[in-house]
Amino acid sequence: GAGVSQSPRYKVAKRGQDVALRCDPISGHVSLFWYQQALGQGPEFLTYFQNEAQLDKSGLPSDRFFAERPEGSVSTLKIQRTQQEDSAVYLCASSLGRGLTDTQYFGPGTRLTVL
Amino acid sequence: AQKVTQAQTEISVVEKEDVTLDCVYETRDTTYYLFWYKQPPSGELVFLIRRNSFDEQNEISGRYSWNFQKSTSSFNFTITASQVVDSAVYFCALSVGWNRGGGNKLTFGTGTQLKVEL
């Protein structure tokens, strides 16, 4: 595909349910990022992968959040025992390399609503 | 720690007016990059420009122009002759040095909602 894709686009979960959000980066992109965007706010960094290695997970808000990229391409963000404060848009971005000069390209996001 | 401030929450203009979106950043790093992204109602962040900390030359791309001033830690974005299609939320973002963990995670401002009306 031409760009970053994410699925599902919308997800409604009852509090306490587990959810899994998928990201398909641009083919060949080494770096993959997850961000969380609350309503009316800017995106906030969650975690970073370089190929299959998760090099930075400093932004994950709690141990209920888990991300993986086992084969260095598709990534999944999993949230266990969802809480209402987890309601947000989850954005995935990828970049070709791993350097400061690499531009991140974003997907359309998954809007998670926890009831 | 890094910080990006976009003090303008919402701006409304009439089509064909010029509009400037302000961005002020904070970092102790001497090597950093600044970005502007556009987020239309569809939600996808669209990359507009990247600027490194060593290049203060202003840039123009069509109706868009950017003014980078290190002395005031600002990276402002001007749209000339605005159009209805420019209506969106605009985010300024910062990435710094060589992140110890690798990668160049972005620190975003809170965004400015631009509404261009006929």
Whether the per-residue pLDDT at A112 is higher than 60: the answer is: yes
- Judge whether A37 and A89 are in contact, CB under 8 Å: yes
Number of Cβ within a 10 Å radius of residue A18: 12
**Which candidate in B104, B107, B112 is best for mutational testing of the A interface (most A CBs within 10 A)?**
B104
- What average pLDDT does the segment A8-26 reach? 97
Q: What is the DSSP string of B46-82?
A: EEEEEEETT----EEETTEEEEEEGGGTEEEEEESS-
- What average pLDDT does the segment B59-69 reach? 91
CB distance A102–B111 less than 8 Å? Answer: no
Measured between beta carbons, which residues in chain B are less than 8 angstroms from residue A56?
99, 101-103, 105
3-state secondary structure (DSSP) of residue A48: strand
Nearest residue of B to residue A34, measured between CA atoms: B105
Interface of A with B (CB under 8 A): 31, 33, 35, 40-45, 48, 50, 55-56, 58-59, 89, 91, 93, 95, 98-109, 111
Confidence of residue A97 (pLDDT cuts 50, 70, 90): confident
Q: Which residues contact B48 (CB under 8 A, 6 or more apart)?
A: B35, B36, B37, B38, B64, B77
pLDDT digits (tens, 9 = 90+) for B7-46: 999 999 999 999 999 999 999 988 899 999 999 988 889 9
Nearest residue of A to residue B97, measured between CA atoms: A100
β pairing state of A110-114 and A88-95: antiparallel
pLDDT of residue A2: 80
Q: Which residues contact A96 (CB under 8 A, 6 or more apart)?
A: A26, A28, A29, A30, A31, A102
pLDDT digits (tens, 9 = 90+) for B3-18: 999 999 999 999 999 9
CB distance A43–B101 less than 8 Å? Answer: no
Q: What is the mean pLDDT of chain A?
A: 94
Nearest to A98 among B35, B47, B103 (CB): B103
pLDDT of residue B1: 82
Bridge partners of B114, per DSSP, are B11, B88
pLDDT of residue B100: 55
Measured between beta carbons, which residues in chain B are less than 8 angstroms from residue A100?
31-33, 95, 97-98, 104
pLDDT digits (tens, 9 = 90+) for A36-89: 999 999 999 999 999 999 999 999 999 999 999 999 999 999 999 999 999 999
Whether the per-residue pLDDT at A1 is higher than 60: the answer is: no
